[in-house]
Amino acid sequence: MHPGIYASVMKWIPEGSHVLDLGTGDGAFLDRLVRDKRIVAEGVEKNPALVSLCIQRGLVVHQGNIMEGLDQYSDQSFDYVTLLGTFQELLMPEEIVREAFRVGKRVIVSYNNFAYYRVRLQILFCGHTPITPSLPQPWYRTANLHFLSTLDFREFCRALDVSETRRACFGTHGAAAFWPNLLAAEVVSLLESQTKPR
């Protein structure tokens, strides 16, 4: 992931927040959040080797898939739920985001923008599924199930009655402030639900 994504999340999450990280990986970023922002954190990761690394860092991380991880928490248990780099890999993104809003007040999602100009050019001129720094694997090895654009993500948010209150977009050379659907390879968004929790 682009380092600007991590920097944005660090900026958006206030000190002392309760955070649930879905798809924690090796725990390096969650550990940084704990140390630098003094957050109270838990994570969910399906890979047992990565869970072991997280535990070695002193993190509370549960092994399992994301939906199983969400099932164990009560309503509004967290200030923030993060989905960094795993969103396009979700089998049922709608259900996961709804559940994330059940257990958390705000949700932070990062994803690869499939409408990035380099992706478009590879499809147009090469006629095959693109390989870029943000989409580095061939189609048969990638964990990605969904190939979405920033416009698709906006429609997804509207369908779920969710507002994108902050967004940071990054291309090959840094922040992509203009024409994000064309110039951003990776995007991170801070979401808030328009529907009041029951």
Residue 61 in any domain: the answer is yes
- List pLDDT tens digits, range 150-193: 999 999 999 999 999 999 999 988 899 889 999 999 999 999 99
Number of domains in the chain: 1
Residue 90 in any domain: the answer is yes
Confidence at residue 196, expressed as pLDDT on a 0 to 100 scale = 59
Residue 83 in any domain: the answer is yes
The pTM of the full predicted model, rounded to 2 decimals, is 0.91
Phi/psi of residue 119, each to 5°? -65, -45
Residue 198 in any domain: the answer is no
Range 78-90 burial, b when 16+ CB lie within 10 A, else e: bbbbbbbbbbbbb
Residue 150 in any domain: the answer is yes
Q: Which DSSP symbol is given to 64?
A: S
Does residue 136 carry a pLDDT above 70? yes
Does residue 30 carry a pLDDT above 90? yes
Residue 50 in any domain: the answer is yes
Task: Please enumerate in sequence order all residues whose Cβ is within 8 A of that of 53, keeping only pairs 6 or more positions apart, or say none.
Answer: 26, 27
Task: Please enumerate in sequence order all residues whose Cβ is within 8 A of that of 9, keeping only pairs 6 or more positions apart, or say none.
Answer: 29, 33, 82, 84, 108, 188
Does residue 197 carry a pLDDT above 70? no
Average pLDDT, the chain: 91
User: Quick one: average pLDDT of 74-86?
Assistant: 94
Confidence at residue 90, expressed as pLDDT on a 0 to 100 scale = 85
Give the CATH number for residue 161: 3.40.50.150
Q: How many CB atoms within 10 Å of residue 167?
A: 17
User: Quick one: average pLDDT of 42-58?
Assistant: 95
Instruction: Work out the burial of residue 145: count CB atoms within 10 Å of its CB; fewer than 13 is exposed, 13-18 middle, 19 or more buried.
Output: exposed
Residue 149 in any domain: the answer is yes
Where in the sequence is the domain holding 23, given as residue range(s)? 3-193
User: Quick one: average pLDDT of 41-49?
Assistant: 94
Report d(CA 72, CA 44) in Å as an integer: 11
Residue 176 in any domain: the answer is yes
Beta carbons of 18 and 60 less than 8 angstroms apart: no
